[in-house]
Amino acid sequence: MHPRLSALFVLLPSFALAQPPAGYYDPAAGLSGEALRQALYGIINGHTVITNSMLWEAYYETDRKPDNTVWDMYSDVPGGTPPYVYQFVVDQCGTYDGEGDCFNREHSFPQSWFNSAAPMGTDLFHLYPTDAWVNQKRANWPYGEVNAPTWTSQNGGKLGPCAYPGCSGTVFEPIDAYKGDLARGYFYMLTRYLPDLGNWPCPMMADGEFLPWAEAMLVEWHLQDPVSPKEVDRNNAVFGIQDNRNPYIDHPEWVTAIWGPTAGLTERTAYLAGLWWDGERLHLRNTLAGEAYTLTMTDATGRTVGTWTVRGDVGGLPLPEGSGLYLVTLQGSGIRSTLRVVR
């Protein structure tokens, strides 16, 4: 064991627990949509918080390859030879002038997106050891997909204009092998910190939810890059340190149960005001008599494409033409409900 690790194990619980305890996810059984996310928040909330300096030692448990080198997703080449490898402790930054100089602590969900608040700043489920130069290049840019990169890392990560439908501006695209890992970290963040999301200045979010393009892309990444043994091992290691888990690693199906196009459809019809889409028209029922409700429809870029004020039940509201992913938000009488519409 590295000498610097000894202090960590005095402060942290045993790593003997490798899987969730019996009954860990029982409160989430049978749920979907927002009810499921709320239940998961209740399960993973209140984790053991570590300090920023303790991250270095924690990485030895959470991000260590079988050969004891640092598992850096920004330089690793799965099935191939990485351009450089890092050793724990001795290669910790420090100063750097280019790729391969040293590794530091990457907030995959940048600190400025949650106002550098605690306990998000040291939550291992979105913090990874990465090459400092690539980390600097990525900076606070959102993740996205890039066809014409302005800069490319040695393992193939790309910085440049976003090419994903509905996305614009500069983004960073990690390699395909780790897109799912990073996406599931984002789904964790929007669950673990559910009460705080409305105050986050995150460019991939609006009003506490993913922008439609970001949601669609992250769901795609999750589906295209399934949970790997690396992620399972890391989830278990983080659980030993923080005493909470990433539920979307343990139950990948819950991503689409919450963020899929039809997520929580049954649950939403049971709200005080029920809102649902039948494939052609929008329906609203169970509204309070005489109360006015506002319906707002935004497209994948976050642009408002329609706003309606309605009273009472609506048997079928035709929406503007155009295919794609939309969010329809209902507000009124102290409630707010959002429905994802795919046309």
- Looking at the fold, whether 229 and 205 belong to one and the same domain comes out as yes
- Looking at the fold, whether 205 and 289 belong to one and the same domain comes out as no
222 occurs within a structural domain:
yes
Statement: residue 38 has pLDDT above 50: yes
Beta strands in the chain (DSSP E): 103-107, 127-131, 151-152, 158-161, 170-173, 205-206, 209-210, 274-277, 281-285, 292-298, 304-311, 314-318, 325-332, 335-342
95 occurs within a structural domain:
yes
* pLDDT band at residue 180 using 50, 70 and 90 as cut-offs: very high
Provide the CA 145 distance to its chain's centre, in angstroms. 16
- Looking at the fold, whether 150 and 277 belong to one and the same domain comes out as no
- Looking at the fold, whether 238 and 274 belong to one and the same domain comes out as no
- Looking at the fold, whether 247 and 276 belong to one and the same domain comes out as no
pLDDT on residue 290: 66
- Looking at the fold, whether 95 and 221 belong to one and the same domain comes out as yes
pLDDT on residue 34: 87
12 occurs within a structural domain:
no
What confidence tens digit (pLDDT) does each residue in 308-341 have? 887 766 667 777 777 666 777 777 766 666 676 7
Statement: residue 190 has pLDDT above 70: yes
* pLDDT band at residue 272 using 50, 70 and 90 as cut-offs: very low
6 occurs within a structural domain:
no
Return d(Cα 246, Cα 302) in angstroms, integer. 28
Residue 336, domain CATH: 2.60.40.3080
90 occurs within a structural domain:
yes
Statement: residue 273 has pLDDT above 50: no
**Mean pLDDT within 207-223:** 92
Statement: residue 24 has pLDDT above 90: yes
Q: How many domains does the chain have?
A: 2
Cis peptide before 94 (omega within 30 of 0): yes
**Mean pLDDT within 115-140:** 97
Show the CA angle centred on residue 71, arms to residues 67 and 72, nearest 5°: 145
7 occurs within a structural domain:
no
- Looking at the fold, whether 246 and 281 belong to one and the same domain comes out as no
Please provide the average confidence, as pLDDT, over all residues in the chain. 85
Q: Pick the more confident residue, 8 or 174.
A: 174
Largest CA distance in the chain: 69
- Looking at the fold, whether 273 and 247 belong to one and the same domain comes out as no
The crossing angle, in degrees rounded to 10, of helices 229-242 and 179-192 is 30
Statement: residue 12 has pLDDT above 80: no
pTM of the model as a whole? 0.75
pLDDT on residue 295: 80
**Mean pLDDT within 275-281:** 66
Residue range(s) defining the domain that contains residue 62: 18-259
- Looking at the fold, whether 127 and 201 belong to one and the same domain comes out as yes
* pLDDT band at residue 15 using 50, 70 and 90 as cut-offs: very low
> Which of 212, 234, 259 lies at the terminal end of a domain, its last residue?
259
* Percentage of residues in the chain having pLDDT higher than 70: 80
What percent of the chain is helix, strand and coil (3-state, nearest 5)? 35, 20, 45
> Which of 213, 234, 259 lies at the terminal end of a domain, its last residue?
259
What confidence tens digit (pLDDT) does each residue in 82-121 have? 999 999 999 999 899 999 999 999 999 999 999 999 999 9
- Looking at the fold, whether 175 and 155 belong to one and the same domain comes out as yes
255 occurs within a structural domain:
yes
> Which of 259, 278, 301 lies at the terminal end of a domain, its last residue?
259
| Residue 331 β-bridge partners | 294, 336
* DSSP state letter for 218: H
* pLDDT band at residue 298 using 50, 70 and 90 as cut-offs: confident
Nearest to 3 by CA among 64, 57, 45: 57
> Could you give the count of Cα atoms lying within 13 Å of 67 in the half-sphere of its Cβ?
6
The backbone torsions φ and ψ at residue 114, rounded to the nearest 5 degrees and listed phi first, read -125, 30
4 occurs within a structural domain:
no
Most confident of 177-181, 194-198, 334-338: 177-181
Statement: residue 1 has pLDDT above 60: no
